């Protein structure tokens, strides 16, 4: 029997991302690493250069070369013109150009032009190096992959997540799904939405991300975590939030809720994550008079975050759906927190209830309601036995159902089908 790894090695998989590496997209890096371990030859193509100052350990383990497309076309005109010259002689160029014009008429933006220019560069530089384009996110990365796929006749497949499902027009999703080989998405709510926009049965598949449980091993016993009841100022209950400082995370709601907690409760809150609203959130904490109890640590590597989970008593993330429709799916940080025995308080939106059962492994709240959130936090900071029970249930659930090795096999099978390898093994 032919070695499956040898067959996979014979084909070239080009993974297309909006930005790489990104601290907030550990799940993508973990998937790439597992695809390498499965034997695939991989190139990573990013639409943007990295902005994070740190990297996770997983990024250092990935051996795939990384290429960056022109982030702004006018800064690299030679690459763009070379891409145009090469693409003009490809059989699929005019079909791709016609679809681009149709898209541009409906989405009259420079961003749309940039994506077609990036597709020209991708087509030139990977025309002999790709057997499948595998793209994360249905919005701009999928536009680049789709145009290049049409130009070269190379199939593309999509992994959809959250913002990309809910913030781009339905016509665009429908047409991309029509052209894609297949699509996977990581939440039941996203799966339902995408299925409703696809005319082909089986085109959209539900595949949860999961986390690498070897990187998040079982925490050791902690005497202090489940004994603090917020009554002792020398041993405050430690609250933790991990997530970018952006509107959809609802961190402003959390800060307002913390300011509403009874004055006789002793707590400390830590926020890990960068983002454009970080200074505004710090100012809000100061305005509400709780800045001495709040720490804003910015972006941190995975090892630091793991220690923060283990040093905390309660994880809180009151996400919301913002005005643009942007929202989280199932934030991986909730899965990570639960893997370390942390009970969680989070909003009852999107796919969060797919993991978090109210009153079982955490508490669910309505978004944008600081009063309700404060009450739920108060319940748990004062009840260590309840925190312990919820944390243990959550840890068991994650370790049973959300390990990434349970799901990577599905991705491997889809890729093999697109590469014509499934029947050869």
Instruction: Please answer whether residues 153 and 316 qualify as being in contact, where contact means their C-beta atoms are separated by less than 8 angstroms.
Output: no
Is the distance from CB of 156 to CB of 179 less than 8 angstroms? Answer: yes
**Nearest residue to 66 (alpha-carbon basis) of 29, 105, 99, 104:** 29
CATH code 3.40.50.2000 region(s) in the chain:
4-209+407-424, 237-401
Is residue 1 over pLDDT 70?
Answer: no
Question: Tens of pLDDT along 79-125?
Answer: 999 999 999 999 999 999 999 999 999 999 999 999 999 999 999 99
Token readout for 199 is: 């005319």
Kindly state the tokens that stand for 409: 């096999």
- Using CA atoms, how far apart are residues 281 and 247, in angstroms rounded to an integer? 10
CATH of domain 237-401: 3.40.50.2000
| pLDDT tens digits for range 198-222 | 989 889 999 988 888 988 999 877 7
Q: Could you tell me what percent of the chain has a pLDDT over 70?
A: 98
Question: Residue 424: pLDDT band by 50, 70, 90 thresholds?
Answer: very low
Cis peptide before 335 (omega within 30 of 0): no
Positive or negative, the CA dihedral 72, 77, 83, 84 is positive
Closest-CA residue to 251 (of 216, 225, 276, 218):
276
Confidence band, pLDDT 50/70/90 cuts, at residue 422: low
Q: What are residue 49's phi and psi, to 5 degrees?
A: -80, 155
The domain 4-209+407-424 is classified under which CATH number: 2.30.110.10, 3.40.50.2000, 3.10.580.10, 1.10.1740.10? 3.40.50.2000
Q: Phi then psi for 307, rounded to 5 degrees?
A: -65, -35
Rounded to 10°, the helix 140-152/170-179 angle is 40
Buried b (16+ CB within 10 A) or exposed e, 74-88: eebeebbeebbebbe
Q: Are 317 and 154 contacting, i.e. CB atoms less than 8 angstroms apart?
A: no
């Amino acid at each position: 029997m032919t070695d499956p790894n040898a067959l996979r090695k014979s084909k070239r998989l080009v993974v297309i991302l909006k930005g790489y590496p990104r601290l907030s997209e550990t799940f993508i890096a973990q998937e790439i690493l597992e695809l390498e371990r499965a034997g695939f030859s991989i190139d990573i193509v990013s639409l943007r250069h990295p902005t994070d100052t740190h990297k996770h350990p997983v990024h250092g383990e990935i051996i795939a070369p990384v290429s960056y497309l022109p982030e702004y076309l006018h800064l690299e005109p030679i690459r763009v013109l070379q891409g145009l010259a090469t693409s003009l002689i490809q059989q699929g160029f005019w079909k791709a150009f016609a679809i681009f014009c149709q898209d541009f008429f409906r989405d009259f933006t420079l961003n749309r032009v940039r994506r077609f220019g990036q597709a020209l560069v991708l087509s030139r530089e990977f025309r002999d190096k790709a057997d499948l384009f595998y793209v994360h996110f249905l919005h701009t990365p999928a536009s680049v992959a789709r145009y290049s796929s049409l130009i070269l006749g190379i199939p593309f497949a999509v992994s959809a997540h959250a913002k990309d499902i809910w913030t781009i027009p339905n016509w665009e999703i429908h047409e991309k799904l029509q052209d894609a080989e297949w699509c996977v998405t990581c939440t039941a709510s996203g799966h339902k939405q995408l299925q409703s926009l696809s005319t082909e049965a089986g085109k959209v598949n539900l595949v949860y991300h999961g986390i690498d449980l070897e990187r998040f091993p079982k925490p050791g016993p902690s005497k202090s975590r489940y004994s603090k009841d917020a009554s002792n100022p020398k041993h405050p209950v430690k609250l933790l939030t991990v997530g970018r400082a952006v509107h959809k995370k609802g961190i402003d709601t959390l800060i307002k809720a913390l300011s509403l907690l009874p004055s006789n409760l002793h707590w400390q809150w830590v926020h890990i994550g960068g983002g454009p609203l970080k200074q505004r959130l710090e100012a809000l904490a100061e305005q509400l008079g709780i800045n001495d109890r709040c720490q804003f640590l910015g972006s941190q590597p995975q090892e630091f975050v793991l220690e923060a989970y283990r040093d905390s008593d309660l994880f809180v993330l009151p996400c919301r759906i913002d005005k643009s429709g942007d929202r989280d799916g199932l934030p991986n940080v909730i899965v990570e927190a639960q893997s370390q025995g942390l009970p969680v308080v989070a909003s009852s939106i999107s796919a969060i209830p797919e993991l978090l059962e109210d009153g079982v492994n955490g508490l669910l709240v309505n978004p944008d309601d600081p009063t309700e959130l404060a009450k739920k936090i108060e319940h748990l900071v004062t009840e260590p036995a309840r925190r312990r029970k919820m944390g243990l249930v959550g840890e068991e659930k994650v370790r049973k159902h959300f390990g990434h090795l349970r799901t990577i096999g599905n991705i491997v099978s889809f890729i093999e089908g697109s590469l014509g390898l499934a029947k050869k093994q």
